[in-house]
Amino acid sequence: MARARTIKPHFMRSRSMRAVSGMARLTFIQLWLIADDAGRIDARPLPLARRLYPGDAEAAGLLPGWLDELEGQHCIERYSVDGDDYLRIVNWRRHQKIYHPTPSRLPARPVGARQESGELHESLGSDGEKPCTAKALGPDCENSRALRETRESLGEKPQNPCGPALSPAFPSDS
């Protein structure tokens, strides 16, 4: 199911977005709209092209190139599980606050999956893949205990770091 998502003001100035074509940028934004609450998408080429660009016969042939651009900038990661193609949006939870998350029906990237560069990224079951049990999924949830203890040691009132709050600034890379 498509969801409303957030595009932060610094999006267009990020290094990764300046390095890709306009159609790759548009594709990236459209991927956010169809991603599940874990940032995962069924990436079978023809169905994906039809979802992103309905009625555009040329999109199916061009979409792989746009996805290559996005993967080259580490905006997405493509992977296969049991012969089915999927993709995940990198840093999904850093840039999207998800209230009342729905568990993903799509499989996570397999443990130890590597990008073509050979660089090892987070593996299945890491804190980055596990949903926070709080109301909102966000970067503060992962460090809530340390943040709370630091604030308490400084004499500040304890806050609910996993509750609704302003999003952190969009970094220069996605």
pLDDT per position as a tens digit, 16-42? 999 999 999 999 999 999 999 999 999
The 10 Å Cβ neighbour count of residue 79 is: 18
**What does the pLDDT read at residue 149?**
61
Q: What is the reported pTM?
A: 0.64
Burial of 144 (0-12, 13-18, 19+ CB in 10 A): middle
Three-point CA angle 131, 134, 138, nearest 5°: 65
Model pLDDT, residue 119: 40
Question: What does the pLDDT read at residue 3?
Answer: 72
Q: What does the DSSP 8-state code read for residue 41?
A: E
Output the average pLDDT for the chain.
76
Please say whether the beta carbons of 56 and 63 come within 8 A.
no
